[in-house]
Amino acid sequence: MAQHNETGKEGEAIAGRFLENKGYRILERNFRYGHTEIDLIAQKEKLLLFVEVKTRSGNRFGHPEEFVSSAKVRLVMRAAEHYIFAKDWPHDVRFDIVAVLTTPNGIEVSHIEDAFY
């Protein structure tokens, strides 16, 4: 497996544990709808969370969250809409980004709530 794929998988695992520590229950990992993948789908009480995880080893070219394109946002929202209707989810939803940055000093995790609408 390519190094960037391994980095991404590690970042998703870190993000999942981070959200679980904040009281979220992970419902889905790598949920696919068509060609779109939602990294994590989580729930906390009556809130359904769709999470894009971005992992980078260093911020030389920018912070991880800056790499979520508008095209990716549209795709995630379309896949989320499918999930919401398939599960008949009647409550609130939110779209977040969890940014995982690995540095020589350790791992930094940032949780950006309501990252896109």
Q: Which domains does the chain have, with CATH numbers?
A: 3-112 (3.40.1350.10)
Question: Per-residue confidence at 56, pLDDT binned at 50, 70, 90?
Answer: confident
Instruction: Write phi, then psi, for 114 (nearest 5 degrees).
Output: 50, 45
Please tell me whether the overall predicted TM-score, pTM, comes out greater than 0.75 for this model.
yes
The two three-digit tokens of residue 17, written as one number: 């544990």
User: Using 50, 70 and 90 to split pLDDT, how confident is the model at 5?
Assistant: low
Q: Which residues contact 2 (CB under 8 A, 6 or more apart)?
A: none
pLDDT at 95 over 80: yes
Mark out the alpha helices in the chain (DSSP H runs).
Answer: 3-21, 70-87
For residues 85-112, give the mean pLDDT.
94
Closest CA to 50 of 111, 93, 90: 93
Which pLDDT band, with edges at 50, 70 and 90, does 3 fall under? low
pLDDT for the residue numbered 24:
98
